[in-house]
Amino acid sequence: MFGDDVDEGDVLVSLCDLKTYYGEDSLLSDDPVKAVDGVSFDIHKGETLGLVGESGCGKTTLGRTLIQLEDATAGEVRIGDTDVTTLTGDDLQRWRRNSQMVFQDPESSLNDRMTVGAIIREPLDVHDWKTPRERRARVRELLDTVGLSEEHYYRYPHQFSGGQRQRVGIARALALEPEFVVLDEPVSALDVSVQAQILNLLNRLQDEFGLTYLFIAHDLSVVRHICDRVAVMYLGNVMELGPTERLFQQPQNPYTHALLSAIPEPDPTADSDRITLTGSPPSPRDPPAGCPFATRCPMKIRPPEYDSVDTEVWARVEMLREVLRERSNADRSLTERAREILGLSSRFSSADEVHDELFADVTLPAAVEDHIEEAMDHVRNDNETRARAQLREAFGSVCDEERPKSHVVDDESGTSRCHRHRDEHDEPSRSQVVSE
């Protein structure tokens, strides 16, 4: 078996520059969707590693790639000396036996036409585990392990509540005694009281069977409760990874800051010093050339000559860049294109409105205004690419141009990707965010 000789706390699975792209092999495709775009980290035996991020950041794809439900485009998933991404045939089947997945939605991940017993027995059948009699006995044992009872063997999923179904999903994942389990949002669909039951169950099972979890979630309070270390993903990249408490108390990456501050606290007296991010993540088809988070980062490095520009004004300038960026990505229908070619309408006609909307109530410093006027002229001349390039040249910084490296940010080799960790810049901190 894989990883049998690994001690508690040693590296079990090691990801090395892992990339998973979708849609690049199709004839008609544009740029591929870069769902996972160069991720490297280790998962230690016996730990629970949390993987958090907004929807579309690639966390589920990463989990699925790990257990080879998706093919990696490049990079390695190493377990001991084996690269899992290259496995085929019997070897691949052995790895799959050893790594299992629990899915988010217990409504759709269980076949409604099979009895619960058959569902849990299926992996045993597929892998031809022992004799049928022993399989049935194993299923009964599993039902008991996850807090269901033997009498549930012949029932159907629709007779169960959400929490019970998720227990069935967990029993199925544990059937072949895996070492490594990917939990993809296992409690997101459950009510808070049921969620607590499932989290307790997962903790107990981990202790009992020495399991290693990759826990994918977007609910940060759940992650804080159950995980030993947490990796924060954004647009296919791991922005920060570190021990849970350090990460929650002293987040080092601007994205982690923002993400954590967005959690509503169950305490009405709490002061919220929230950083509200504007906009939404860029398309993974066309990620920013520099730092993935640059388009929304409230702590983005400015060119030195604009350091004194008012934060609000600067935010508007960035917003103009974002609007132009988004327009270039917007799908245009054939009729729209035709109308444009015929000169019947132009999608740029509203550019002046955007400009007015953004800058009507602020006074721009002369240096800034000149650049913006120049860019607006390009837009009016239907040359949006020029406009974007021009703004980028004028207001861009290292954040727009270079992908940040991973910097070690704590004693436990936690890492964070941000240009501000470099010596010549100030460390990212809250003080750089001026709230509205």
Partner 1 sequence: MSAEAPLLAVENLRTEFYTDKETVRAVDDVNFRIERGETLGIVGESGSGKSVTARSIMGLVESPGNVLPESSIRLDGEELTEKSESEYRGIRGSEVTMVFQDPLTSLNPVYTVGNQLKETLRLHRDLDGQTLTDTAIGLLEDVGIPDAARRISEYPHEFSGGMQQRAVIALALACDPELLICDEPTTALDVTIQAQILELLAEIQVERDIGIMFITHDMGVIAEVADRVAVMYAGEIVESAPVRSLYSDPAHPYTNGLLDSIPGNQPGGRELTTIEGEVPIPNGAATHCRFAPRCPKAFEECYELAPEPLPTTAGKDDHTAACLLFPEDMKREDAVDEHRAANTEGTDE
Residues near partner 1 (CB under 8 A) = 54-55, 161-163, 191-197, 199-200, 203, 218, 220-222, 224-226, 258-259, 261-270, 272, 274, 276-280, 319, 322-323, 326-327, 330-331, 347, 350, 353-354, 357
Strands (E), 210-303: 212-217, 229-234, 237-243
Q: Which is nearer to partner 1, 139 or 216 (CB)?
A: 216
- In the complex, the smallest distance separating the C-beta of residue 24 from partner 1, rounded to whole angstroms, is 23
Cβ-based neighbour number of residue 315 at 10 Å: 15
Q: Which is nearer to partner 1, 45 or 321 (CB)?
A: 321
Q: Which is nearer to partner 1, 229 or 407 (CB)?
A: 229
- In the complex, the smallest distance separating the C-beta of residue 257 from partner 1, rounded to whole angstroms, is 11
Q: Which is nearer to partner 1, 26 or 349 (CB)?
A: 349
Cα of first residue to Cα of last residue in the chain, in angstroms, is: 56
Q: Token pair of 244, please? A: 């849970």
Angstrom distance (rounded) from CA 28 to CA 25: 9
Phi, psi of 40 (to 5 degrees): -135, 125
The residue assigned the tokens 């923002």 is 258
Q: Which is nearer to partner 1, 115 or 261 (CB)?
A: 261
- In the complex, the smallest distance separating the C-beta of residue 80 from partner 1, rounded to whole angstroms, is 30
Q: Token pair of 239, please? A: 């922005």
- In the complex, the smallest distance separating the C-beta of residue 91 from partner 1, rounded to whole angstroms, is 36
Angstrom distance (rounded) from CA 434 to CA 108: 45
Q: Which is nearer to partner 1, 47 or 85 (CB)?
A: 47
- In the complex, the smallest distance separating the C-beta of residue 269 from partner 1, rounded to whole angstroms, is 6
**Partners of 225 in the beta sheet?**
none
Angstrom distance (rounded) from CA 362 to CA 319: 14
- In the complex, the smallest distance separating the C-beta of residue 352 from partner 1, rounded to whole angstroms, is 10
Angstrom distance (rounded) from CA 319 to CA 220: 28
Looking at residue 301, the DSSP 8-state letter turns out to be: P
Q: Which is nearer to partner 1, 92 or 319 (CB)?
A: 319
- In the complex, the smallest distance separating the C-beta of residue 420 from partner 1, rounded to whole angstroms, is 20
Who's near 399: CB < 8 A, 6+ residues apart? 290, 291, 294, 297, 300, 301, 419
